[in-house]
Chains A and B, each alone.
Chain A
Amino acid sequence: GAVVSQHPSRVICKSGTSVKIECRSLDFQATTMFWYRQFPKQSLMLMATSNEGSKATYEQGVEKDKFLINHASLTLSTLTVTSAHPEDSSFYICSARGGEGGTYEQYFGPGTRLTVT
């Protein structure tokens, strides 16, 4: 149980285009989803927290107009990188928390490798 998927696993796009990454909780309802960014040999950095049906809360320094997050249902959150540039190339990881009991544990997706050319 508690499986989180991400799609796509890899994406290459041209500078100036937008890319959407999906995060799905497959066997539980996720009231809260998180988006992280991971640079090579760096730790995961939390970008934003989203609750179903409400606006995402962004961490300091993360441009909310550039990284659009939508959490429209209890099983799906999307991250859209708008007008992508090479510096946006990174590994993006989502996690989801939910279910009964409020254990607060997060279940992580396998990540999406974004390369902007």
Chain B
Amino acid sequence: GDSVTQMEGPVTLSEEAFLTINCTYTATGYPSLFWYVQYPGEGLQLLLKATKADDKGSNKGFEATYRKETTSFHLEKGSVQVSDSAVYFCALRQQGEGSEKLVFGKGTKLTVNP
């Protein structure tokens, strides 16, 4: 079945450091790929998404590129802030109407220190 593997955390960085959180997937066909963020005490929020190969999703300084050849969707940010401290989840969803099931990775906790 479909699955998502993301790097284990926790990840601790200093403010303004470069961030990469790796995510790879196993799926049939051409799924849509997502990054969700969960801030302390809150629900998951969609951070960015990409629906086809070579698409780049971006939001709030975060980017991820859909790489079909490496089945990856790594999350990057050039300069993290303390406010980016959260848990980040990579996820996939199969294409097509009615294909609503999201498959999540285990999440990566990021802590950014001032």
Contact = CB atoms under 8 A, between A and B. Distances in A.
B interface, size bucket? 10 to 19
Interface stretch (A13-21, A65-73, A78-86, A106-114): A106-114
B55 to A, nearest CB: 16
A43 B105 contact: yes
Contact of B101 (A43, A49, A110): A49
Contacts, number: 44
Nearest to B102: A106
Interface string B99-114: 0111011110000000
A interface, size bucket? 20 to 34
A105 B102 CA distance: 10
Given A32-B100, A44-B89, A95-B44, 7 more contacts: A34-B100, A34-B102, A41-B106, A42-B106, A93-B43, A105-B46, A108-B44
Interface of B: 4, 36, 41-46, 89, 93, 97, 100-102, 104-107
Interface of A: 4, 6, 32, 34, 41-44, 46, 49, 93, 95, 97, 102, 104-111
